[in-house]
Amino acid sequence: MNDHRKTILFLFVFVSIVLGGLYLIGAKETEFLVSTSVRVKASEVFPHLTDPEKRLAWSDGLKSCKLLEGERVDSDTKYECVVDNGGKDYPVVESVKLIDQDKVFTVYRELSGIASTRVFTLSEANNQTTISYRYLEKRDVMASLTYLLNRRNLEPSMFAEMEKLKAILEARTVQALLDNPIR
């Protein structure tokens, strides 16, 4: 076989391997679920999940966030946010769907080949609210490659966010008791 044919065969095999690898990687889905319980009513938790200013206190990577329309979250709300993604700031529009007041809502965003949905569910029992934070992510091929190279792990970040939120809510409750002591 002459050198020209060997080169063409090598390129064909190489391109086939690369394309096969990309096919195997493909668009991937990731799902995490984190939950925590707080000694606060769901109606007091909900604003901390939906109010743009309050979200800044506990949501990692969220640099700024504001409602695009209106003054409160309703059944179809959009936020304009700036997100720190790997040391770079990206503007992003989040779509919020209020499913059930003080119980369930979703946040959807697309950023750099990643479509993510966050589902927050609140359930009350025994003077506590359980906050369930379910994260679903779909990545295109390029984002999947980046994910493989960086191996970022969202679950510890989500857990840290829920712990921050819990600390904020419970500190607020303690402060309320200090401000209004039971007599």
pLDDT band at 141 (very low <50, low <70, confident <90, very high): low
Q: For the domain that residue 97 is a member of, what is the CATH number?
A: 3.30.530.20
100 within some domain: yes
**Considering Cα of 40, then 46, then 47, then 50, what sign does the dihedral take?**
positive
Which amino acid, 90? Answer: Y
Coil, helix or strand at residue 35 = strand
2 within some domain: no
104 within some domain: yes
DSSP codes, 16-39: HHHHHHHHHH-SEEEEEEEEEEES
* Backbone dihedral angles phi then psi of residue 112, each to the nearest 5 degrees: 50, 50
Q: What pLDDT sits at residue 37?
A: 94
Q: Which of 9-13, 63-67, 89-93, 129-133 has the lowest average pLDDT?
A: 9-13
Is the confidence at residue 57, as pLDDT, over 80?
A: yes
Q: Which of 32-46, 89-103, 156-170 has the lowest average pLDDT?
A: 89-103
- Containing structural domain, residue 141: 27-179
